[in-house]
Amino acid sequence: MSVAGLLIGLGLIAIAAIIAIDVSGMRVPPVHAKVGPRFFPLLVSSGLALAGAAVVWQAWRRTFDEDLPPATDWFAVAVIAAGLILHMNLLRPVGFVPAAMVLFMSVTFAFGSRSFLRDGAVALVLALVAYLGFTRLLGLQLPAGLLQGII
């Protein structure tokens, strides 16, 4: 039995259930089409549930993960995930440039680089160029944060 496969299959069934429950509680205005906003979601929900059931079946029969990668570096995955979460929380309060640098450094670290000076320098240049290009050339708004008034 493949535990991962079982979890994925059950996850799919759970999503199918969430869709079905949310849509069932939805208000449906009278429509000429006779096919309302619930029809497609229920179709997709059934499809997902079937797919989930098939995955669970395969996981049970041990035909699911036949060529799973030999080893998974979960630590590296967690570091990038943490970088992404930090980035989305830092973006508004401290600004684009520091947030982007944090993200960049988390990725380089996860990929095994320990040349912090080089990575930091590249991150700074990249973030600054992107920030200036966006705000100056295109006139888009990016949070300045800590650098408000400096750049």
Partner 1 sequence: MEALGALMDGFATALTPINIMWSMVGVTLGTLIGILPGIGPALTIALLLPVTRTLDPTGAFIMFAGLYYGAMYGSSTTSILLNTPGESGSIVTALEGNQMARRGRGAAALATAAIGSFIAGTIGTLLLTFLAPQFVKLAILFGPAEYFALMVLAFMTVTTLLGASVTRGMTSLMIGLAFGLAGTDILTGQPRLVFGIPSMLRGIDTVVVAVGLFAVGEALYMASRRDLREAVILPIQGSLFMTREEWRRSWKPWLRGTAIGFPFGALPAGGTEIPTFLSYFMEKKLAKNPEEFGKGAIEGVAGPEAANNAAVAGVLVPLLALGLPTSATAAILLAAFEQYNLQPGPQLFSASGTLVWALIASLYIGNVMLLVLNLPLAGVWVRLLAIPQPLLYGGILVFSTLGVYSLSNSTFDLVLLFIVGIIGFLMRRHDFPVAPAIIGLILGPMAEAQFRRALTISQGDATVFFTHPISLALLLIALAVVVVPVILRRVLRRVPV
Partner 2 sequence: MLRRTFLAATAVIGLSIGFVTPALAVNDLRIIAPAGPGGGWDQTARALADVMTAGGATGITVENVPGAGGTVGLAQLIDQEKGKPNVMMVNGLVMVGAILTNQSAVNLGMTTPIARLTGEYEVIVVPAASEIKTLADLVAKLKADAGTVAFGGGSAGGTDHILAGLVAKAAGADLTKLNYVPFSGGGEALAAILGGHVVAGISGYSEWAGQIQSGELRALAISAPERQAGIDIPTLKEQGVDVELANWRAIVAPPGLDDAQTKALRDAVDAAVKSDAWKKVLADKKWTDLYLPGDDFAKLLEAENARVTEILKTVGLVQ
The answer to the question of residue 32 lying near partner 2 (CB under 8 A) is yes
H helix runs in 67-110, sequence order: 74-94, 96-110
The answer to the question of residue 19 lying near partner 1 (CB under 8 A) is yes
DSSP SS3 for 11? helix
Among 34, 70, 75, 148, binds partner 2 (CB under 8 A): 148
- Which residue is associated with the tokens 């299959």? 9
Choose among partner 2, partner 1, none what residue 36 binds, the Cβ cut-off being 5 to 8 Å by kind.
partner 1
Among 44, 144, 145, 146, binds partner 2 (CB under 8 A): 144
- Cα–Cα distances (Å) from 117 to 18, 25, 72, 90, 126, in that order, read 47, 55, 28, 22, 14
The answer to the question of residue 95 lying near partner 1 (CB under 8 A) is no
Among 25, 29, 70, 112, binds partner 2 (CB under 8 A): 29
